[in-house]
A = this chain, B = another copy of it.
């Protein structure tokens, strides 16, 4: 009895992510994805229900991966809140730099309605940021009336900065600009 090959699934997700990140949903066709992943088109349907499903899985994978990465590198509770803030910004930016084609998918509402599973994984990423801010507020270092909103801003500001600079601005400079922006905005 043959078993689905997790590796092949990964390959397909990666290929799809690369293409969906560069062009928009309807401009990317499945045969293209299949070619990029070096599998037959029919195989896509062994691993995914539909194009829409594949797209969702790409986004979910993206958020999950990002969450894994961030939570590995960030300890919300301990440490100086400002250090934590710096860390979350720098790790977020770094992640986006390393995944240039995928990070464009990480934005909020795209016209396309988000399925609940995507919303959920996206939320986990946002809540990491929120908890960093909130713990800073509790410690009396930071100040923010709506940390949940601010967390959203952060993700979109990173996206904005990276898109605007088209990746030309050195990573470090973008990190410092965003950090100085947020730390001033949030410091008590």
Contacts and interface: CB of A to CB of B under 8 A. Distances in A.
A5 to B, nearest CB: 30
B24 A112 contact: yes
Contacts of A107: 107
Contacts of A150: 181
Interface string A108-138: 1111100000000000000000000000000
Contacts of A187: 184
Nearest to A180: B145
A177 interface: yes
B163 A149 contact: no
B161 A159 contact: no
B24 A109 contact: no
Interface of A: 21-27, 104, 107-112, 145-146, 148-150, 152-153, 155-157, 159-161, 163-165, 177, 180-182, 184-187
11 contacts: A26-B26, A27-B111, A107-B107, A109-B163, A148-B164, A149-B165, A152-B164, A153-B161, A156-B159, A181-B185, A184-B185
